[in-house]
Amino acid sequence: MDITCEHAGDTLIARIHATRIDAAAAIRFKDRMREVLQAAAPRVVLDLSRVDFLDSSGLGAVVAVKKLAGPGRNLELAALTPTVQKVFRLTRMDQVFTIHPNAPAGVRHVG
């Protein structure tokens, strides 16, 4: 899965370049995010602005990434499309994650 990362201060911004995080993509998403989380940053923001569809497998993958991030690191979500936002609201995961209306602008590209 194509995910690019940028640093903005103490924040790592992971931009998801996929329109779907579903059963077919969930494992690739988790594997790539495991690599992304190797970067030392106390705060990680997932930019989901391009994701139009997220099923239960995708939601489970996002929750798994939050667990992978560990207790000392914040995993936040940004720029959810209306369909994805509805999934988080209906499952009450919007109470678990900090969700921002827009993704922060990055400062430097890290890969």
Instruction: Supply the CATH number for residue 21's domain.
Output: 3.30.750.24
- When divided into structural domains, the chain yields a total of 1
Q: What is the pLDDT of residue 33?
A: 96
Q: Show Cβ contacts of residue 47 under 8 Å, excluding neighbours closer than 6 positions.
A: 13, 14, 15, 16, 78, 79, 103
In-domain check, residue 111: no
Structure pTM?
A: 0.90
In-domain check, residue 67: yes
pLDDT tens digits for range 4-53? 999 888 899 999 999 999 999 999 999 999 999 998 789 999 999 999 99
In-domain check, residue 96: yes
pLDDT tens digits for range 57-68? 999 999 999 999
In-domain check, residue 102: yes
pLDDT interval class at 106 (50, 70, 90): low
* Strand residues in the chain grouped as ranges (E): 3-8, 11-16, 20-21, 43-47, 53-54, 74-78, 98-100, 108-109
Residue 17 structural domain: 3-106
